[in-house]
Amino acid sequence: MGIKNLKVILTQRCKNAINICKLEKYRGYTLGIDLSIFLYKYIYNNGDHIEGLTRLIMRLLKNQITPLFVLDSKPPDEKKNTLQERKDRKEIMNVKKNLLEACIDMPKNNYDDFKNKVIEIVKKTNESMEIEEEEIKELFSKSSDEIKIEADKVNRKIIHVKPYHTESSKKLFDLFGIKYIYVEEGGEAEGILSMLCKNNVIQGVITEDSDILANGGKLLLRNFSSDKNIIEENCLEGILNCLEMTQDQFIDFCILCGCDYTQKIPNLGPINALKIIHQYKNIEKFLESNTKYIIPINFFENYEKARYLFNYPIPQEVYDKIDKNTKMQEPKINELKEYLKDSKLKDKNFIEIENNLMNYYLDIKHMSEYDEENLSPSKKKSKKITDFFKSK
């Protein structure tokens, strides 16, 4: 997920385009949110995605920010290799989890008996997998308590987002009066969000996925926490200025760094990728002159398609069908409180919903009505992205 090691370059070269900002800066804005990112986060944290999403929403509404959630659909075929790698990693984690749990109470009187039992468990879980001798020796040397702690850690990392998680989230959004987007025809959240941002339907995107920048999303907001009123702001125009690149060159740079759509060139890191784009301006000229790197066939076959997908992450006809109305509706507070009673929300969160949620909604509603009444379509202007780009 995202562009490999892009943050290395952004941290080194683009300090003026990355700022820690207070959420109140985005008062009156609509911010898009990649739901899947936060489902994984909250399921991992405490197993209660509803509690996590509720606190997220209340934090944004408190700052008079309208959330718009986008749900993942079918990814493009070009991601099949990446998705298979993720599936394989998850399978390895499942095998490790089963093995560790079985080893907690396994007798350790004889190493050979222990070793044979471990090999048997691995084969039974996945016939194609093998375990190294050193790993078996390490397991044999550990106490039951140490193995149990390790098993718990592995178990927490194996996260399965199920239809229930998505459907219950939709119900939560409906009760809050918040809009969400799901495109049945196919379309990953980051692609939809970046298109919405490029077309000024939303003013920024809250996610950890750096693909948003390669896709042309004007404002990437990272490191969101419901417990804090600050966020990391990444301004695309500022980044392009700092890197002295056009958007097309930035896309080629991201492809060379490594993305989900094509195989990465071995031994080519982000610093050298930057040098290559500065020197050759695009991938074609680099490939014509290259004598240093071994280029995988997969890269030759797919880099142009990757470039296309960064420019057009979802088909225009699919984008045109998306409902662009992001206005918040009146929340159903009593139903919402009833829905949340089985969550892990604390009393203070219920008190905030009871005392402040309607005020948050009215503040956002009045702000929107004021803008519509005082700015005619001919005079209404979107925020310039340079408003976000602060010199230091």
Domain boundaries, the chain: 6-76+163-321, 81-157
Q: Kindly report, residue by residue over 266-316, the tens digit of the pLDDT.
A: 999 999 999 999 999 999 999 999 999 999 999 999 999 999 999 999 888
Is-contact 310 254, C-beta < 8 A?
yes
Picking from 100, 81, 78, the residue whose alpha carbon sits closest to that of residue 89 is 81
Q: Provide the residue count of the chain.
A: 392
pLDDT reported for residue 79:
60
Q: Could you give the count of Cα atoms lying within 13 Å of 194 in the half-sphere of its Cβ? A: 24
Is-contact 218 235, C-beta < 8 A?
yes
Which of the four pLDDT bands, split at 50, 70 and 90, describes residue 264? Answer: very high
pTM of the predicted structure, to 2 decimals: 0.82
Is-contact 2 208, C-beta < 8 A?
yes
Picking from 383, 387, 353, 367, the residue whose alpha carbon sits closest to that of residue 59 is 353
**DSSP assignment letter at 77:** G
Helix (H) or strand (E) holding 59: helix 49-62
**DSSP assignment letter at 259:** B
Topology of domain 6-76+163-321, CATH: Rossmann fold (3.40.50)
Picking from 212, 255, 254, the residue whose alpha carbon sits closest to that of residue 234 is 212
Picking from 123, 86, 85, 81, the residue whose alpha carbon sits closest to that of residue 102 is 123
pLDDT at 160 over 90: no
pLDDT at 384 over 50: no
- Mean pLDDT to the nearest integer, 341-365: 96
